[in-house]
Structure 1
């Protein structure tokens, strides 16, 4: 029984994280699932047992395979969310961050040179 409760609490926590990363409100997800806000809140906080039917509903709302949820396949889940948001997969996202960091360093170097050169003549 404790094992089921632990699984339920971990899955509920994962669902909450997915909702937050997806920028969905509890009200939005509850409406998509056709349940009350309170029922969804109880589901997300682990107060309500997650049945296979409820897990399937959650998977549909977040456009994530049922199996990815119950197996806690977070890499797949994150990539799915990023793709849905038009960001690309995790590796693409990390590449973009690296490029932005490189560009930031270039701009810092340019600013340092400008400061060392002194005021610009008008």
Structure 2
């Protein structure tokens, strides 16, 4: 069964752009789909694509079929930028948390070391005084 796509919104260029965004070469994409590089080129130049192939393409790209069929470059880049900002914010929180934990752990080890040193010095002082 063929997927009907509005002529001005060909499916092939959408697949090409998503592949490029994902950083896949045609050769890598072809290998993931178990087809030839020429077949990938044909898909990327198609106006329509059968449902089975579209499903395989969506799985390899890690996006839903709807994401491919409704793909809009401006919206995609906006979403990618927003996701990256959220990821960066989460990483900052994690990094700050990890850094704080590491500093606290180092401080506690230093403190324990100083306590141990003081204990040994007191024992040495007591021995000297006796």
Give the TM bin, normalised by the shorter chain. Answer: 0.5 to 0.7
Q: Secondary structure at the match of 1:50?
A: coil
User: In the comparison of the two structures, how many residue pairs are matched?
Assistant: 84
Q: Which one has a larger percent helix, Structure 1 or Structure 2?
A: 2
Mapped contact 1:13–1:44 kept (Cα < 8 A): yes
How many angstroms does 1:14 deviate by? Answer: 0.9
- Any unmatched runs of 5+ in structure 1? 97-122
- Any unmatched runs of 5+ in structure 2? 90-130
Q: Secondary structure at the match of 2:40?
A: helix
Note the aligned Cα RMSD (angstroms).
3.3
Mapped contact 1:59–1:69 kept (Cα < 8 A): yes
Mapped contact 2:14–2:69 kept (Cα < 8 A): no
How many angstroms does 1:66 deviate by? Answer: 1.4
Q: Post-superposition, which runs of at least 4 consecutive aligned residues in structure 1 deviate over 3 A?
A: 73-79
Which of the two has higher C-alpha Rg?
A: 2
- Normalising by structure 2, we get a TM-score of 0.51
